[in-house]
Amino acid sequence: MDNYITQFLGENVISYFIVPIPILIFVALFALYAVWAERKISAWIQDRVGPNRVGKFGLLQTIIDTIKLIQKEFITPDRADKILFNTAPFIVFTAAFMGYAVIPFSSIFIGIDLNLGLFYFFAITSLGVIGLMIAGWSSNNKYSLYGAMRSVSQIVSYEIPTALSALTVVMLAGSLQMQTIIEKQAGGIHNWYIFGGPGGPVKIILIPFMVISFVILFLSTLAETNRNPFDIVEADSEIVAGVHLEYSGMKFAMFFFAEYAEMFAVSAIISTLFFGGWQSPFGDLIPFLNSPIMQFFWAIAKGLFFVFVQIWIRWTLPRLRVDQLMTICWKYMIPFAFLCLFVVGLYVVLV
């Protein structure tokens, strides 16, 4: 038995330790500095300075804030369901982190290249809504419960246009496997699916529908990560802080770690589906730009660009009302997503 366990761990040491640990470190560092970046970008948009005291340009501010949160007391409301209340932040963060298992950072670095990778990503990250619902209900606070109910209705609704818009790329690539989708876009920017993917001149008819699919996917992922203008889950002017209201210390911080981790995750998925993932925009014109190191650079750079756009939108647009949020999803996004899916499907069959 001992020999079997030793052999099993020896064969799986890469998948169990070597791959997950760097990804976990990346997620932790990204969450820390994405908070700093958001504070600096919002300050720039609002003509303020932002963090500038702790470290050069305030670079150590979020680290100090994390140390402060670690030292804070964990407070659990008397009438809360203590087990569920304390479990909810871990469920939310775990769901966001597990999505990184199928995100390709380069041609040689991916947690696991599942043949149903895209399906897995949408399935596992949507589990976060269970954690939000548990957090809102177990807090025994009406504002937390309102936030939880909003999160369920919002995320479940926006899962539909998210999946439909992603299916346009799946039909063109003929696969749900992340690395396969990226490899199909090799050859340069003109082969990216935002521009119709590989093919002859006739693919030009796909471009407007792929652009619409990209916009729908981007807006849907904003809603799924509870980012403005879809942040009604934690609308401070209406329900104080929603599901976060009764949380303190690191349990409170874990919700934000999960939010920022998912921001990059969905950005990486968008770049994988429509913008070539780790592929160089110059194709094989400059071989060095397609080396494994540069592939990692392209994957991170494209993901960070969409994170910047998410932050930019948050500090530019006002929050939607609940009825407006549902109207956008059911009356506009879903019909347009079906239209794009039909046109792309017709193209795949006929061309």
Residues 149 and 4 in one domain: no
Is omega for the bond preceding 229 within 30 degrees of 0, making it cis?
Answer: yes
Please report whether residue 222 resides in a domain: yes
Residues 103 and 34 in one domain: no
Residues 57 and 170 in one domain: no
Please report whether residue 1 resides in a domain: yes
pTM recorded for the entire structure = 0.87
Please report whether residue 77 resides in a domain: no
Structure tokens at 71: 């030292």
Dihedral sign, Cα of residue 74, residue 77, residue 79, residue 84? negative
The pLDDT of residue 12: 61
How remote is the C-alpha of 331 from its chain's centroid? 24
Residues 122 and 191 in one domain: yes
Dihedral sign, Cα of residue 168, residue 173, residue 178, residue 184? negative
Residues 266 and 178 in one domain: yes
Q: What is the pLDDT along the chain (351 residues), one digit of tens a residue?
A: 555 555 555 556 556 667 778 888 888 888 888 888 888 888 888 888 888 888 788 888 888 888 887 887 777 777 878 888 888 888 888 888 888 888 998 888 887 888 888 899 988 888 888 888 888 888 888 888 888 888 888 888 888 999 999 999 999 988 889 999 998 888 888 889 998 878 777 788 888 999 999 999 999 988 888 887 887 777 767 777 778 778 878 888 888 888 888 899 999 999 999 998 888 888 777 777 888 888 889 999 999 999 999 988 888 888 888 888 889 888 999 999 999 999 998 988 887
Helix (H, G, I), strand (E, B) or coil at 185: coil
Residues 106 and 35 in one domain: no
Cβ atoms of 93 and 153 closer than 8 Å = no
For 16-53, give the DSSP string.
Answer: IIITHHHHHHHHHHHHHHHHHHHHHHHHHHTT---S-S
The pLDDT of residue 5: 55
Structure tokens at 188: 């340069």
Boundary (domain end) residue, out of 16, 44, 71: 71
Residues 329 and 264 in one domain: yes
Please report whether residue 241 resides in a domain: yes
Residues 162 and 242 in one domain: yes
Please report whether residue 335 resides in a domain: yes
| Domains identified in the chain, total number | 2
Residues 207 and 59 in one domain: no
CA distance 297 to 290: 10
Please report whether residue 165 resides in a domain: yes
The pLDDT of residue 16: 64
The pLDDT of residue 136: 84
Please report whether residue 50 resides in a domain: yes
Burial (Cβ within 10 Å: 0-12, 13-18, ≥19) of residue 3: exposed
Please report whether residue 76 resides in a domain: no
Residues 11 and 138 in one domain: no
Alpha-helical regions (H) of the chain: 2-13, 20-45, 61-71, 82-98, 117-125, 128-138, 142-173, 178-183, 207-224, 236-239, 249-274, 292-314, 322-327, 334-350
The pLDDT of residue 3: 59
The pLDDT of residue 2: 53
Residues 11 and 99 in one domain: no
The pLDDT of residue 155: 83
Residues 42 and 88 in one domain: no
Boundary (domain end) residue, out of 71, 97, 117: 71
Residue ranges making up the domain that contains 139? 82-350
Return the CA Rg of the chain.
21
How open is the CA angle 50-54-60, to the nearest 5 degrees? 95
Boundary (domain end) residue, out of 23, 47, 71: 71
